[in-house]
Homo-oligomer: A and B are copies of this chain.
Amino acid sequence: MDTVSGAATRLLFPDWMRGVQGRVETALARQLPAAEAIPARLHQAMRYATLNGGKRVRPLLVFAAGELSEAPLPRLEVAACAVELIHSYSLVHDDMPCMDDDVLRRGRPTCHVEYDEATALLVGDSLQSLAFEILARADFADGPRQLEMLALLARASGSCGMAGGQAIDLAAVGRTLDQPELELMHALKTGALIRAAVLLGGLCGTALGADERDSLDRFAKRAGLLFQVVDDILDCTASTVTLGKTAGKDAAAAKPTYVSLMGLERAREFAADLGGQALAALSSFGERSRRLVELTDFITQRKF
């Protein structure tokens, strides 16, 4: 069977990464309704919001975690697309005027600027439905496992996950959060979906043991937090052109970030600590976790 191990693991990390990104881009283009299918404007906007050459960090995590369970590529592709569709929907809604009110995303006008607000609202709604549709429709030949994956992704997306974190974030503007409050917010807002990506990848192949699942979950939680701390650092150090989205936005909006809480240097140390903890959680997997290790290093060192 076509799995992520074997020949694929001998690729250098940048080549592996580009391979997964290309595969996910193609799969997303196929899973999304055609641009000319009625209602065409909505479908064009869904494609505009999703097929934009994003970094595809969550799909990369799905594929990297899939190596632990020797998962078949077609399953990883479906899981990766489902997670990325949820992520894309959240970006479209977060950018809307009533939320973060942003005009730039991945170097292009945001969805409500390029189309209109009503369309952007429906784009987000429809991308969310599509994520669950493709995950429910795929044939994984293991109904209970597939239902577990659906429940996991839905939980990570909703009010006890990503959307809940966004709600806490909105309520926190202009207030000072302490570190536990900030961690709860990010554990939900960014962490929940990052964690779901890792766990979904682990669920795509041979069943992991209870200890292995615990280790993977420990990794997933650290990786989610790490990603957000690095994001906060980049928001205050990188330029708008490099990021492809408006830089310095968090500070301008008086949003609580790790940098505003602990300063740039301590935020960098915290990121390095989290990276170390994430890697430690993977130690028992040995060579099977090689892509997750490389990806963690990549996330820690990313510049955009």
Contacts and interface: CB of A to CB of B under 8 A. Distances in A.
Interface of A: 33, 37-39, 41-43, 46, 89, 93, 96, 98-99, 116-119, 121-122, 124-126, 128-130, 132-133, 136-137, 142-144, 146-148, 150-151, 154-155, 157-161, 163-164, 166-168, 170-171, 184
Number of chain copies forming the complex: 2
B121 A150 contact: no
B122 A163 contact: yes
Given A121-B121, A167-B122, A159 B93 contact: no
Nearest to A98: B117
Given A33-B159, A38-B164, 15 more contacts: A33-B160, A39-B171, A42-B164, A98-B117, A98-B118, A99-B118, A125-B128, A126-B164, A129-B163, A130-B158, A133-B155, A136-B154, A137-B147, A137-B151, A147-B150
Contacts of A160: 33, 37
Contact of A167 (B119, B132, B158, B163): B119
Per DSSP, are chain A's interface residues mostly helix, strand or loop, or mixed? helix
A122 B171 CA distance: 12
A125 B163 contact: yes
A168 B171 CA distance: 34
